[in-house]
Structure 1
Amino acid sequence: MTPKTTPAPWRSRSLILLALGLLFPSTSLHAAEQTLTLLTWEEYLSEAVIERWQAETGVRIEQIYFDSGDKRDEILAKPDHQIDVVLTELISSSRFGARGLLDPLDEKSLPGLSHLSPRWRDSCGPYSVPYLWGTLGIAYRSDRLDQAPHSWADLLKPAPHDAPHIIMMEDHEDILASPLILQQHSINTSDNDELKAAYELLLAQAPAVLTYEYVITSLRSQRYLDQADMALAYSGDQQVLNEVEGIDGEPWRYVVPAEGTLLWVDCLSVPSITPDKALAYRFLEFLNQPDIAALNAADLGVATPNRAARELLPDDIRQDPTIYPPEEVLARSQVYEPRPLEATQTRRRIISALINAHDAR
C-alpha cells in the first residue's frame, strides 16, 4: 500500500522534537516514569502522533485494544481498571457518565474544544471529546470480486452456495445497523419485530461468514487471508487492511452502500477513577492541537472533526469521498441516539444468539 502522505513539515518537526528529547533527557526524566493508558481500537492512533507526544512529554503511551464495544464496556465497568483515557461514543459515554464512571468534561482544561463545531460536540455529549468520525460500509477485495458491492444486500444476502468469505463484527450496535438500514428501519429502533427481522437476516447470512472478529484484528492475526473478500468495516479500515496484507495495488477498497449508512463519531473520555486526570486532560488537549489532529487524521485516513486541522490536510485527503463523504451520502446517514438500557440488552442477546448459532455449525 502507498500510505497517505503526511506533509514534510510535520515529519521534520517530529524528528526535531525527538532529537531535542535525546539531547536534553534530564528535562523529562521524571515524566519518563509515567505511563498514560489508552483503551481503544487497534491501529487507531498514529505512530507519528505517539512519537510527538512522547518527545514533548516523556510520558509513554500504553494502548489496550478492544475489538467490540461490549468488550470495551466490560473493561470500563471493572472497579480497579487502570485506564486514563477511553475511546467511547455517545451511547456508552452517556450511560457510563450517568453511573459516575466517567467525569463530565472540564472545559476550562480544554481550550482546544474551540476547534470543534457544535455538531460534533453534540455527537459526543457532556462526558467526551470528539476524536474522529466516519461511516460504516463494506470493505472488499477488488481483485477477487467481479464487481464492486453497491448495496447492503451484497454483504447480507450472499448466494446460498458461496463458501465462507465474509467477515462481520461482534459489536451489538454496528452489526445490526446494516440489516436495519437494508430493511428500511431506524438503527435506533427498539421494536422487537424489527430487531427480530434483522437477526433473521444475519442468521441467514451466517453460513457465508468466516468470523465475527473485527476484520483488522482477524487479518492481522493471519487468519482468513486467502478466503476473505468482503467485510463489514469502517471508513479508513481499508488502508490498514492493505498494510496488513502487504499486497501491491491496494486491493482492499471501501464503499458506502446505496441504501445509506451509519454516521459514527468516536469520542474520548476520562474515567472518574483515572489517577492522573491532569495528564489525561493534557493528552486530550494535545490531540486537539490542529497540527496534531491533522497528522493523526492523515496517517489514519479517517475524518477529523477539528475544523482547523482539516484546513491543514492535503487536497487529496480532503477531497477523498471515502474519508469525507459528499453531502448526498451524509443525507442518507443515520446516527445513534441514547436508548433505554433494556433495548441495548436485547441487542446483546441477539448478537450472542447469532454467534452461538454460527459457532455451533
Structure 2
Amino acid sequence: MNNLKLLFRAPAALLTLACVLFPSTAPHAAQTLHLLNWEEYLSEAVIERWEAKTGVKIEQVYFDSGDKRDEVLAKPDHLIDIALTERISASRFGQRGLLDQLDEQALPNLKHIPKRWRDSCGVHGIPYLWGTLGIAYRADRLSKAPQSWADLLEPANRDEPHIIMMEDHEDILAGPLLYQQRSINTADTDELKAAFRLLQAQSPAVLTYEYVITSLRSQRYLDKADMALAYSGDQQVLNAVEGIDGEPWRYMVPEEGTLLWVDCLSVPAKGAQKALAYRFLNFLNNPQTAALNSAELGVATTNVAAKALLPEAIRQDPTIYPPEAVLQNSQVYETRPLEATQTRRRIISALINAHDAR
C-alpha cells in the first residue's frame, strides 16, 4: 500500500478529501473542523454533543498508519484543523514549524491531565488516549489463547494465511524486538535485520499488512483472520464490525512485554480555525466528555477526572487499564537517528512488496 489511501466514514468522502487536500475546491458551507484521525477513534456521541452545542460539524479524514498521517501533514495546502499525533511525530513536525506549540491558556481543562501524560506529548500536543500493543485473536477459532509474541510471529500453521499485521514502520517492529529482548528504540542495524528476518519468516501466514480494523471493516478476510497485531481497544471495534454474539475477538499483551503508547492531539500551524480547534480540544477534555469518549471506545483516558467517572467494570478491565506489572514490562518510543527510521521504512516496504508479489 505505497499510495496514499485514506478511509472515510461519510458518503461524501471524496468531496471531503478534495476540500482538505485541495482547498480551492472547498464549497461555501457552515463551519467545519477537519480532524485527521484513526478510524473509530472518536465517539459518535461526543461528535453529536459537540455539533448540538456549537453547530460546528466535525469531518474526519482517516489514516491507517503513522506514515500515511505524516504524508497528509506534510502537504503544504492541507486544511486539517486538528491532527492525531504522538510525541515523536509531534516534535518532528513542531520543529519544522508545521504544528503549533500549544497555548495552554486556551485549554483550561488541561488541569485534569497529570504531568506524566502531558510530558508524553511534549509542547506540540495534548494527551488524548493511551494503551498497549498486543495481539487480537478469535477465541472461538483458536484452541489456545496466545501467550507470547511467538504465537503471532512464529505461528504453528505458518503456511496458511490467517494473520493480519499493519503497515507501520514503528509498531510492526515492536513485537519482534520485544520477542528478541531488544529495545524497541534500537538503532543497531544487526538487531533491526534480525527483527526483519523474523517478519520475513512470518510472511506466508500474513493475509495483509493493512490495519486490522480497516481490513475487516471492508469485509476482507472475515472468514480467515484469527490473529492480528492490534492496539488495546481494537477488539471492541472488531466485535462490532463482525456482529457476532459472544464477542469472539479478545486482546492480550504478550509475556515478553509491550509498547506503551500515548496518542496526542495537535494543531497545525497554518490552521485557519485555531480558536475553534482549541475550543474543541478543551471540550474534549471536559471530564464528562472525556469519560463518555473513553467508555464508548474502550480505551484508557489520560484525564484523571474522567477516569473517576467511568464505571467500575471499565476501570478494572485489564485490557483497558493494564496492571502495574504490565506497565513495568513496557517500553515507550524515544527519538532516534534518522538513519534508523529510514531502515525501518525500508523494512516495511520490503515486506509489503514481497507479499504483494506472491
Which residue is 1:53 aligned to?
50
Q: Which amino acid aligns with 1:40?
A: N
* Aligned residue among 192, 195, 209 for 1:195: 192
What is the alpha-carbon root mean square deviation over aligned residues? 1.1
> Aligned equivalents of 2:339 and 2:291: distance in 1?
39
Shift of 1:160: 5.3
The 3-state SS of whatever aligns with 2:51 is helix
Once the two structures are superposed, what CA deviation does each residue of 1:326-353 show, in whole Å capped at 9, x if it has no partner? 0000000000111222221211111101
So what's the TM-score if we normalise by structure 2? Answer: 0.91
> Aligned equivalents of 1:37 and 1:146: distance in 2?
44
Structural mapping, 1:247-266, within 5 Å: 247-266=244-263
Which residue is 1:12 aligned to?
none
Q: Which amino acid aligns with 1:59?
A: V
Q: Percent identity?
A: 79
> Aligned equivalents of 1:126 and 1:207: distance in 2?
42
Structure 1 stretches of 4+ moved >2 Å? 159-162
The 3-state SS of whatever aligns with 1:263 is strand
Asked if 1:148 corresponds to 2:148, the answer is no
The 3-state SS of whatever aligns with 2:301 is coil
Asked if 1:126 corresponds to 2:123, the answer is yes
* Aligned residue among 310, 315, 319 for 2:316: 319
Which residue is 2:210 aligned to?
213
Structural mapping, 1:16-27, within 5 Å: none
> Aligned equivalents of 1:272 and 1:327: distance in 2?
38
Once the two structures are superposed, what CA deviation does each residue of 1:184-207 show, in whole Å capped at 9, x if it has no partner? 000001100000000010000000
Give the length in aligned residue pairs. Answer: 331
Shift of 1:161: 4.8
Q: Which amino acid aligns with 1:97?
A: G
Shift of 1:162: 3.8
* Aligned residue among 66, 72, 77 for 1:75: 72
* Aligned residue among 270, 276, 281 for 1:279: 276
Asked if 1:108 corresponds to 2:105, the answer is yes
Which residue is 1:223 aligned to?
220
What stretches of structure 1 of length at least 5 have no aligned partner? Answer: 1-31
> Aligned equivalents of 2:175 and 2:111: distance in 1?
34
Q: Which amino acid aligns with 1:60?
A: K
> Aligned equivalents of 2:157 and 2:148: distance in 1?
17
Asked if 1:204 corresponds to 2:194, the answer is no
> Aligned equivalents of 2:282 and 2:61: distance in 1?
21
Once the two structures are superposed, what CA deviation does each residue of 1:240-288 show, in whole Å capped at 9, x if it has no partner? 0000000000000000000000000000000011101001100110110
> Aligned equivalents of 2:157 and 2:188: distance in 1?
29
Asked if 1:335 corresponds to 2:336, the answer is no
State whether residues 91 and 339 of structure 1, in contact with CA within 8 Å, keep that contact through their aligned partners in structure 2: no
So what's the TM-score if we normalise by structure 1? Answer: 0.91
Could you say if the C-alpha distance between residues 161 and 152 of structure 1 is closer, same or farther in structure 2, counting changes exceeding 3 Å?
Answer: closer
> Aligned equivalents of 1:193 and 1:319: distance in 2?
41
Which residue is 1:29 aligned to?
none
> Aligned equivalents of 2:247 and 2:321: distance in 1?
19
Which residue is 1:25 aligned to?
none
Q: Which amino acid aligns with 2:111?
A: S
* Aligned residue among 347, 351, 355 for 1:350: 347
Q: Which amino acid aligns with 1:285?
A: N
State whether residues 94 and 338 of structure 1, in contact with CA within 8 Å, keep that contact through their aligned partners in structure 2: no
Which residue is 1:137 aligned to?
134
Which residue is 2:154 aligned to?
157
